[in-house]
Structures are given as C-alpha cells and as structure tokens.
A and B are shown apart, each in its own frame.
Chain A
Amino acid sequence: MELKTVESIPEATILFAGDSGDGMQLTGSQFTLATAYAMNDLATLPDFPAEIRAPAGTTYGVSGFQLHFGSVNIQTPGDEVDLLVAMNPAALKVNLERVRKGGSVLVNTSAFDKRSLDLAGYDENPLENDSLEGYQLIRVELTKLTREALKDSDLNQKEIDRSKNMFALGLALWLYSRPVEPAERWISAKFAKKPDILEANLHLLKKGYHYGETTEQFVSRFEVDPASLEPGRYRAIQGVHALALGLLAASVESGLPLFYGSYPITPASDLLHTLSRYKQFGVMTFQAEDEIAAVGATIGAAFGGSLAVTGTSGPGVALKAEAIGLAHIMELPMVIVNMQRGGPSTGLPTKTEQSDLLQAMYGRNGDSSLPIVAPSTPGDCFEAAYEAARIAVTYMTPVMLLSDGYLANGSAPWLIPDPAELPSFPVKFATKTNATIEGEEVFHPYVRDRETLARPWAKPGTANLEHRIGGLEKQDETGNVSYDAANHEMMTRLREEKTDRVARDLPPLDIYGAKEGDVLVVGWGSTRGSIQAALDRLLAAGRSVGAVHLRHVNPLPLDLEEICGRYRELIVPELNNGQLVRILRDKYLLPFRSFTKIQGRPFMAGEIVSYVESVIDGGQDNG
C-alpha cells in the first residue's frame, strides 16, 4: 500500500535525542542495523551524558544518537542533521543548532507541557512561536499515540510510556524506507522471556511504521540506494567490537592465549565485556581491583607467555604509568589500549578526544619510548589491534594502542576480513641456553636479535632458562643488575633504538588527494573520516591538497619527512590542544600548523575545509 511518493536521496543524517532513559541509544543502534541491511554506507556518533539516569527532562540528561548514511562514501557522522527526532523539549533545545536550515524536526508534542518546558529552560513553547521557522516541523503526539496503541496491554503506565521509542523507530524506518525485520528479530530475541513487553514493542514498531503511511504530515518518504562498497561480506561494527576481534585474531594467529586485565572505565569497559564472552577461544579476562592491578596482572601474563593486553582510558593509563615503565625496561610484550576521552582528570568521560598522545609518548618516568599505534575508523580498530599485538611480540615491547570514545562507540560497515589473509604472526619462545660462562651453558635474557633488537622470550616452565628480570637497570646481555654508568646510557639508547626500528617494517604512507601541492593535512587516529570528507570537498573545488593519516605515531613512518617536503603548507588537525603537531615540529623542524577542536566531539568536515581554505587563501597565522 504505497500511497506516498518516494524521493531518492544520496545521503541523510538523522539524530535521535531524548532523555537518558528514553532508549535513544537503542533506537539509534536499531536504525543503524536496518541501514546496514539496506546496504548503505554509514557512520554513527552516539552521544550520551556521563550520568546513567540524569533527572528527566533536563538539558544535561539528553542522550543522542546521530547517524549519517548514504549511497555515497560516508566518512563522518554528518556535519549537519537532516532530521532531528526530539522526544522532549530539552532534546530539542540541546540539538536544534545541529539541524541544517530547512531540515526536519520531529517532536513528541505530548512532552511539551509546562513542566517539561520549564525544565528545559524554555520561557515559552517553541512549538507555538516562530523559533522553529525555517525548519520543517513534524508534530507527533508520540506519548498519546503510544498509550492508545497499548490501551489493552497489561503493562503499567511507566512501562507503556517507556516504549514510545519503538513508535519513533518504526516511524523513522518508514520515513527512510528501511526494513523493519531486523528490529523485529532483535526485539524478539531481547524480550523472549518477557512476552508482555515483547508484544508491546513489536506492536508499537508496526504502529509507528503504519503511522507514517497514514498521517498526512508526510507527503513523501525517502529512499537511499545501496552504497557501492567493495565487494564482499559486510557487517556493521562498533570500533570496540572490532578492536576485541583484532586482539582475538592476534591470539588465534599467533597461538598465544589471550589474557586481558582491566578495570571498568568509560569508554573502555565494553572491551572487557566483549572479550569476557570469548571463552570458547580460551580467552582469559581478569577484572582487577584497580588499574594498577590490571596492568600488573597483564605483566604477569606476559612473563608467562600469553598475549597480554590491558585496556583503559586516560585516567587509567596515568595510574598504570609506572608498571608500563616496568614492562618497558623488562622488555615484555603487551598491548595497552587507551580508549581516549575528554581530559584532564575525569574530564568528559563520555566524550571523545585525542588528548592522550603526549601521555602515550612521554607519560612515564625515565626515557621510555614505546611504539604507538592508532586506529582510524571503527573497522580499522581490528587491523590496528592486530598490528599492535604483532609489534609487541616481534619487538618484545609494550605497545600503546590509542583508540578513542568516538571510534569505540561509533559504527560503520566493515568488510569482514578473511583470517587466512591476515599478516603472519610468528612467535618464537626461547628453548635453549644462549651463552657460556666458564664452560657452563647459561641463559642470558638480554641477548638481542640483530634485526629487531628483541630479547628472547623465555617462559617460566622452560628448563635451564631460569632467569630473573626486574625494574632495576640491567647489564647488557646477562640481565644482571648493573649500576654501571656507561651501561645505563647504552641500554637506554638500545631500548629507544628498538622502538625506532619498528619503522623499518612500516608500509609506505598512502597519500589521499594531491601527491604534491599547496597543503598537506597530517592526521592521526579517529579524525581520518573528517579529514578525507573535507579533502573530497576541497579537491572537488579544485584545491591542491593532499592528506596522510598516521596509524603509527611512534616511530613515525620513514617516508613522512619527504612527503611533507612536497607541499607549501602543512596542517595538523587534532581533537586536542595540539599534540601531534609538537611531535612533528620537534622531529622535522618544519612549520606545521595546528588546527584543533577541544569540544568532546569529532571534527565536522566543514570545519577542516574552512581552515584549509583560509590557509591557502592566506588568512591564517601559523598558530
């Protein structure tokens, strides 16, 4: 029964917003799933407060889920919102500025009562004055319609009202011609043991969907064609799940059992949750009493021959710093995952930021340079995690893996990798003595591989290789405690040189856009999508710009300096107060410009476009 016209559009951005208890994250993730089924490209930005249930109706309790999808290449969650679904006045107040002029605002008019308006800080009802002029206002009495739809249900009033997000989801699915079945299947599985709620949710989902067809508020609905993605099998994946799978893949391919030690912290806890479910792969997860115990146990597991990983966010890395130094001087392989969030201190726990780069570089006592790997998209978290583990074991070193809240929570379509095509991950444990003292065969734990400078990994349980390691400086080769001045200098330089040698293995950098010209944009980590979306616009406008994106921040790729020399201007966009830019200036003594945003949100492509244009057109001091 298609009564409405269908308008085909290349892309759209939708934002679901409501109270933290309104189920907006669930609504958003179900819309994402349906969008994946519709085979669009997509990127998401869940955005929620640190409070679990902030007081209802307040602006600080607003939870949002933004989704950008299309038949075209989608790299960011969208600069501007085409459709805002606002469940209450506070959600409208907080998010209206993100809606493009001429965009649509769907409001739950039932929630615009005096009390809710007061809570949101509205002096007068925005639905009744001209404040929404310039937007297409879609009024839906969501709460009322939900109550009517469930008037025969056994659920109580609270449960009924809480289900209204399903009505909204159904309506949104209809509006963008998404399939309803994935959400139906999910609801059926989720509430299998609660038939009342199951039935109510399915009923509301359908009611919402049909409401779109019958209401006269919509003259047309939209359709977004499948995106032209590289052929293969896809799934929509959140960065945190891809990262867990990457670690697991490293464990399977290396044959090393995976040990994950962690202490709950936003936004890294989901990594612990995910890995704790992989017991059929022998994965050991350990929820420690604190961050230090988590990294300590990880060091113990590394000593014992496991693929040892600890995960946390910036505050946790601060607590682990001393132990990471220990792993560095003992030269044990492990991966430290930092899901960065807004800092300093507790900062903005649920918001994204890239401000722990200098902490990863320098945040320990003594000279202790560690390899730093940074994923750039949700799907890339898989490869980056695998790579971090491989470097750790190959070079016998702790490796920092710098993800962030945006990557962890964001979703994107992911071309599922074939395990057979993963890079090889050989592991060699020491089994024999490697030195002789006065005719006796002995084992020296700090005899190094000539290529990688890695020391041998001798697991306890291996006969005749008994040895002691620790935090005191050690003599080269023998590993005995040494306070010798020259030895300390040599060992410090050796450890740094070992980190530097990781660069020898790195593939050449990919240059996006112009291979030489006016501007090179140098990015790292989760800003890749924003930078490339910006470059697409700049290139389309005929600008001479290129971009390189660093997965490896330490050591830096060997070809970076040469590439930098091909451009007139160098720009480093970061979600911090300028961190990579300091490293680059220090290393290359070139005039890199810093472009920063410190708002707990990713870059909008438009922001980067404006900055690059202003640099090319000569309006920016080198800041």
Chain B
Amino acid sequence: MADDKKPRKPTLPPGMGGKSAAAGGKLPPGKRPAPTLPPGKSASATLPPGKRPPAKLPPGKRPPGKLPPGKRPPGARPPGVGGDGASGLTRADFSTDQDVRWCPGCGDYAILATVQRLMPEIDTPKENVVFISGIGCSSRFPYYMKTYGMHSIHGRAPTIATGLKASRPELDVWIVTGDGDGLSIGGNHLIHLMRRNVNVQLLLFNNQIYGLTKGQYSPTSEKGKVTKSTPFGSIDHPFNPSALVLGADATFVARTMDRDPKHLKRMLRETHDHRGTGFLEIYQNCNIFNDGAFFEYTEKATKSDRTIFVENGKPLVYAGGTMGLRLNGLKLEPIDLTGDKWSKDDCLVHDETSVELAGVIGRMFRVDTLPQPFGVFYRVSRPTYEDQLHSQIQDVLDRRGKGKLGELLNSGDTWEVSG
C-alpha cells in the first residue's frame, strides 16, 4: 500500500540522478524528451493561436446554462469552443494557490495544464465540477483544481464518486487515479464502476510504476521489470487496462498520452462528453522512477511507426499513411500501403460501436509487430446508473405519491391502548 509521504523536492533519489538523464537507453539516439517546463510555461505552446473567444465576461460571471449539465449529446460541442474563456472563465480560474508538488518534469504537469485549459470550454457551471482521487502521485490532482474536490483514500475514489454522482446527478464528477490506485488496490471498484455505467469520467494516469512509495512495480509494469521490490525482476503478468474495462462492459474506452497535448485535450473532451462512465487511460511519464516507459510511443523518432491513432469511420493507417492494418481472419496484420499490393481500401475501418472491434484494438497491446493504439476504442450508449436509480424513485412517486411519515409509522398491524 502506498503511504503518503511528502513528495521530495527536486533532489533525485540516490543513484537516480544519472538514470533520468540516461533515459537515452530507451530513447532513439540523439533524441531528448520534451523539455520539462512547469505548467505555466508550457501552456502557451498548446494554445490554439488566434482562437480567443470574442466576448469576455467579468471573472466569476457565467452565461446562463442552456442545457442541464451532463445532458449534452455525445460529441456535441458548445458554441464558442476553441480556446480559453468560452465560458467567461480562463485556465487561471481553475488553478488553486497551492504549490504543485510533483517532481519537476513529471508528466502530471502536462495533464493538469490540459485539464485546466479544457475546463473553461465545457458548459458545466464551475461550482458543479468535482474532482475525486485516491492515493498516489496522480491523486494529488484535486488540490490543484479550483473546483470542489476530494483527495480520498487508496483505491476508493470510484466508490466516493459513485455515491456523489448517484445522489447528485447534476454534478460533473471526475475521478483521477493511477495504475496502482485504480488497478491494484482499487481494481474491484474500477470494474464495478464500469458495469454500472455511472456518468463520470475516470482518468487513469498510467506510468507503470509506484511513484509515491518510491519505485515498486505496479500492476501495469512489464514482466521482468527490476524495481526496488523486484530486484530479480517482476514475475507478475501485467494488466492491459483497455481489455480489463472492456471485459467489465465499459461504455467508453480511450487512450491518450501526456506528451501529445492536442490529442490529450481532445480525448479529455470526448471522455467528458460521453454520457456514462468515460474511461481514459493516459500514458504518463514518471521521469524519476520509470523514465521513458512510453517514449517508444511519445517521442518523435518512433511515434509515427509505433502508434496508431484510431478514428471512428476511418481506416486504420499509421506511419504517416504508409502503413495500414487489415484483419486477416481474427488477427490484425500490418500492410504496406506504399507498394502495389495494398491500399487504404484494404484497411480495417474503425467502428467505435463495435465491441468485437474494440476487443481487437484493445488487445493490440505491446505487440512488437503492431503499433500501439490511441484514441477512442469503444463508445456505446447504455442507461446510466444514476438515471435508473432516480427513474425508479420517480416511478414509485408517480404511482404512490410522496410518502407520509406518519402514515408509514402507523402502517401494518396496529392497536390502540386506551388510558
């Protein structure tokens, strides 16, 4: 169990100083990871240029909500989306005065910045937004969001979010968890959240390591991994999170990465707009204990060949359009689109609503011969838990009328004792 110690300041743990810098072992020669700027600095880099919204309201003022929160049909965008301030708020309105205590260079900074940048664009009143987390590095997230929030206990954020959303369906509830918090100690709650389809977002920051407890292997660490708790290599077979939640009948399954802010933001948006549990796995670099775990997918030299960004209705192509994937029987097969033999027409076309296809794409997981998929793997509509809970209550109210306490107390077999 990850205990909750004060995160260390910039100093790296003994023996780790060189490792971080020497992540070149995993990096393509000559490539350096993206510069690790504090959030405020990197922000401008991803702002859509020239996309300032026209009308700005004074801070704290919001235009009256047109739709009840969470009622937006999937995929629909509120008007004026495109940059900060669509709601009259800016990223700053979602930043707290608390010092962000993640290690410099942590992938969490980029995710925080992107979420804070997305917030003004969603049409939920700020006071209706709630971030709930468990324990771990990622779970410090709520402290930095100037919304309602709860930093709870290890693995239990989905349970708290379920109780909150079930009792207050109008709230916009986000769960922030990690691979240890969400898949190990809280694995049971995660799968039950999926099957219930509570209308919340679950952001799984996957760095394939325990960071806050300083470097033990996690349930997503690769087999053979040498860590503090596995000096001879891990013998644990890792989870494939997408396959796990698909097995639990999740209604929305997507993957993105910390180092592609545009894709990250789009995926956050889609996850939020899904009515039902939105599961978003975010590959997140832990530059202290597991530096470069995803560089194969996130760094320029290899990203194009080793990743495939799936989009609904579009053929599965990658490597700048030079490669594609086709279905050969039940197996995916890479095909070369530069020769005469294959064309885009031979590629498998992605259909987000196909559970079979989601299974195939979700299982494209760390296979040497196949790219790693990113994007929305699966998206279907199913009644949410809280809608069903409240419609049952409403049904009974409609049929029987509002209950009267006095009548209930006096119901059943009663008798009178006279004085």
Most chain-B CB neighbours within 10 Å: which of A37, A182, A481? A481
From B192, which residue of chain A is reached at the shortest CB distance?
Answer: A289
Kindly state the separation between the CA atoms of A575 and B407 in the bound complex, as whole angstroms.
36
* Cα–Cα distance between A263 and B417 once the two chains are bound (Å): 39
**With A282-B393, A468-B142, A470-B143 as given contacts, are A300 and B417 in contact (CB-CB < 8 Å)?**
no
Contact indicator B127/A460 (Cβ below 8 Å): yes
Q: Of the 9-residue stretches B70-78, B151-159, B254-262, B362-370, which lies at the interface with chain A?
A: B151-159
- Asked whether B418 lies within 8 Å of A231 as measured between CB atoms, the reply is yes
Q: Which residues of B contact A306 (CB under 8 A)?
A: 167
B365-419 residues at the A interface, CB under 8 angstroms: 389, 392-393, 395-397, 400-403, 405-406, 408-410, 412-419
Contact of A261 with B163 at beta-carbon distance under 8 Å, contacts A248-B408, A289-B189 already known: yes
- A286 contacts B166, C-beta separation under 8 Å: yes
Q: Which residues in B have their C-beta under 8 angstroms from that of A234?
A: 414-417
Q: Which of A39, A298, A305 contacts B168 (CB 8 A)?
A: A305
Residues of chain B with a CB closer than 8 A to A261's CB: 163
A304 contact from B135, B167, B408, Cβ within 8 A: B167
Q: Number of A residues contacting the other chain (C-beta, 8 Å)?
A: 73
Closest chain-B Cβ to A70's Cβ sits at a distance in Å of 15
Q: How far is the CA of A283 from the CA of B392 in the complex (A)?
A: 11
Binds B, one of A121-129, A137-145, A416-424, A522-530: A416-424
Q: Does the CB pair B160–A297 fall under 8 Å? A: yes
Asked if B215 lies at the interface with its beta carbon under 8 angstroms from chain A, I say no
A326 beta carbon closer than 8 Å to chain B? yes
A132 within 8 A of B: no
Is A232 an interface residue when CB atoms closer than 8 A count as contact?
yes
Q: Mark A161-182 against chain B: 1 for CB-CB distance below 8 A, else 0.
A: 0000000000000000000001
In the complex, which of the residues A232, A236, A302, A466 contacts B146, with contact meaning CB atoms closer than 8 Å?
A: A466
Residues of A within 8 A of B389 (CB): 284, 286
Complex CA distance for A234 and B414, rounded to whole angstroms? 5
CA distance A33 to B415 in the complex (A): 11
Residue B132 interfacial (CB < 8 Å): yes
Q: Which of B150, B189, B402 contacts A303 (CB 8 A)?
A: B150
Cross-interface CB contact of B149 among A294, A301, A461, A468, cutoff 8 Å:
A468
Q: Which of B60, B125, B166 contacts A301 (CB 8 A)?
A: B166
Q: Contacts A296-B156, A301-B167, A466-B148 hold; do A419 and B406 have CB atoms under 8 A apart? A: yes
Bound complex: CA of A481 vs CA of B101, how far in Å?
A: 11
Most buried by B among A226, A280, A288, A469: A280
Contact A468 B393 (CB under 8 A): no
Known: A300-B164, A460-B128, A471-B153. A233 touches B159 (CB 8 A): no
CB atoms of B159 and A296 under 8 A apart? yes
Interchain CB contact under 8 A, B401 and A280: yes
CA distance in complex: A583, B403 (Å):
42
B100 CB, nearest partner CB in chain A, Å: 12
Mark each residue of chain A from 447 to 486: 1 if its CB lies under 8 Å from any CB of chain B, else 0. 0000000000001111111111111100000001101000
A558: Cβ under 8 A from any B Cβ: no
Q: Is there an interface contact between A466 and B152, defined as CB atoms closer than 8 Å?
A: no
Contacting pair A233 B410 (CB below 8 A): yes
A280 touching B166 by the CB < 8 A rule? no
Instruction: Indicate with 1 or 0, residue by residue over A311-353, a CB within 8 angstroms of chain B CB atoms.
Output: 0000000000011001000100000000000000000000000
Q: Which residue of B lies closest to A322 (CB)?
A: B153
CA distance A230 to B392 in the complex (A): 40
Query: Within 8 Å of chain B (Cβ to Cβ): is A118?
Result: no
Q: Which residue of B lies closest to A34 (CB)?
A: B413
B148 touches A468 (CB 8 A): yes
A117 interface residue (CB < 8 Å to B): no
Tell me which of B150, B156, B416 contacts A469 (CB under 8 A).
Answer: B150
Contact of A463 among B125, B142, B395, B402 (CB under 8 A): B125
Contact between A300 and B163 (Cβ–Cβ < 8 Å)? Answer: yes
| Distance to closest chain A CB from B83 (angstroms) | 23
Q: Is B176 located at the chain interface by the 8 A CB criterion?
A: no
Does any Cβ of A come within 8 Å of B96's Cβ? yes
Known: A229-B417, A468-B96. A304 touches B150 (CB 8 A): no
Q: Report whether B413 and A460 are in contact in the complex, using a CB–CB cutoff of 8 Å.
A: no
**What residue in chain B is nearest A422 (Cβ atoms)?**
B405
A105 lies within 8 A of chain B by Cβ = no
How far, in whole Å, are A468 and B42 apart by their CA atoms in the complex? Answer: 25
Cross-chain contact B189 with A296 (CB below 8 angstroms): yes
**B130 close to A (CB within 8 Å):** yes
Once the chains are docked, how many angstroms separate the CA of A459 from the CA of B127? 9
> Could you tell me if B127 and A461 are in contact, using CB atoms closer than 8 angstroms?
yes
- Kindly state whether residue B126 has any CB partner on chain A within 8 Å: yes
Q: How far is the CA of A235 from the CA of B415 in the complex (A)?
A: 6
CB distance from B3 to the nearest CB of A (A): 11
B408 touches A461 (CB 8 A): no
Q: Does A603 lie at the interface of the complex (its beta carbon under 8 Å from any beta carbon of B)?
A: no
B312 touches A (CB below 8 Å): no
B171 at the interface (CB under 8 A from A): yes
Tell me if B356 counts as interface (CB < 8 A to partner A).
no
Question: Once the chains bind, are B168 and A461 in contact (CB under 8 Å)?
Answer: yes
* Contact of B147 with A by CB under 8 A: yes
Alpha-carbon separation in the docked complex, A481 to B60 (Å): 25
Contact A39 B415 (CB under 8 A): yes
* Complex-state Cα separation, A295 to B165, whole angstroms: 15
Alpha-carbon distance A300/B405, docked complex (angstroms) = 26
Contact of A265 with B by CB under 8 A: no
- Would you call A300 and B160 a contact (CB within 8 A)? yes
Kindly identify, within residues 12 to 46 of chain A, every residue whose CB is under 8 Å from any CB belonging to chain B.
Answer: 33, 36-37, 39
Please tell me if A384 contacts chain B, counting CB pairs below 8 Å. no
Closest residue on chain A to residue B191 by CB atoms: A289
Chain B residues whose CB sits within 8 angstroms of the CB of A460 once the complex forms: 127-128, 130, 148, 164, 168, 171
Q: Is the CB of B153 within 8 A of A326?
A: yes
B410 to chain A, nearest CB (A): 6
Interface residue A536 (Cβ < 8 Å from any Cβ of B): no
Nearest Cβ on chain A to B98's Cβ, whole angstroms? 7
Task: Assess whether B156 is in contact with A292, with CB atoms less than 8 Å apart.
Answer: yes
Taking the closest CB of chain B, its distance from the CB of A34, in whole angstroms, is: 10
A235 touches B413 (CB 8 A): yes
| A466 B143 Cβ-Cβ under 8 A | no
CA distance A297 to B60 in the complex (A): 31
Asked if A467 and B148 sit within 8 Å, CB to CB, the answer is yes
Given known A-B contacts A461-B127, A468-B143, A483-B6, A308 and B163 have beta carbons under 8 A apart: yes
Residue of A nearest to B93 (CB): A466
Q: Across the interface, do A303 and B192 meet the contact criterion of CB distance under 8 Å?
A: no
Q: Given A280-B401, A468-B143, A293 and B159 touching (CB < 8 A)?
A: yes
Q: What are the residues of chain B within 8 A of A231 when measuring CB–CB?
A: 417-419
Say whether B170 faces chain A, with CB atoms less than 8 Å apart.
yes
Q: Which of A33, A226, A259, A300 has the most CB of B within 10 A?
A: A300
Q: A293-B162, A297-B166 are in contact. Are A233 and B152 (CB under 8 A)?
A: no
**B188 lies within 8 A of chain A by Cβ:** yes
Q: B160 to chain A: which residues have CB within 8 Å?
A: 296-297, 299-300, 303
Say yes or no: is B161 at the interface (Cβ < 8 Å to chain A).
yes
Contact assessment for B152 and A326 in the assembled complex, using a CB-CB cutoff below 8 Å? yes
A-B contacts besides A296-B162, A461-B127, A466-B149, 8 pairs, CB < 8 Å: A280-B403, A284-B166, A286-B162, A286-B166, A419-B405, A460-B164, A462-B127, A470-B152
A/B interface sample: 23 pairs, CB < 8 A = A37-B413, A39-B415, A230-B417, A234-B414, A234-B415, A245-B408, A245-B409, A248-B408, A249-B409, A278-B403, A279-B397, A293-B162, A297-B160, A299-B159, A300-B161, A300-B162, A300-B164, A301-B163, A304-B171, A460-B148, A466-B148, A468-B142, A471-B151
Which A-B residue pairs are the 8 nearest by beta carbons?
Answer: A296-B159, A300-B163, A470-B151, A297-B163, A231-B419, A300-B164, A280-B403, A279-B396
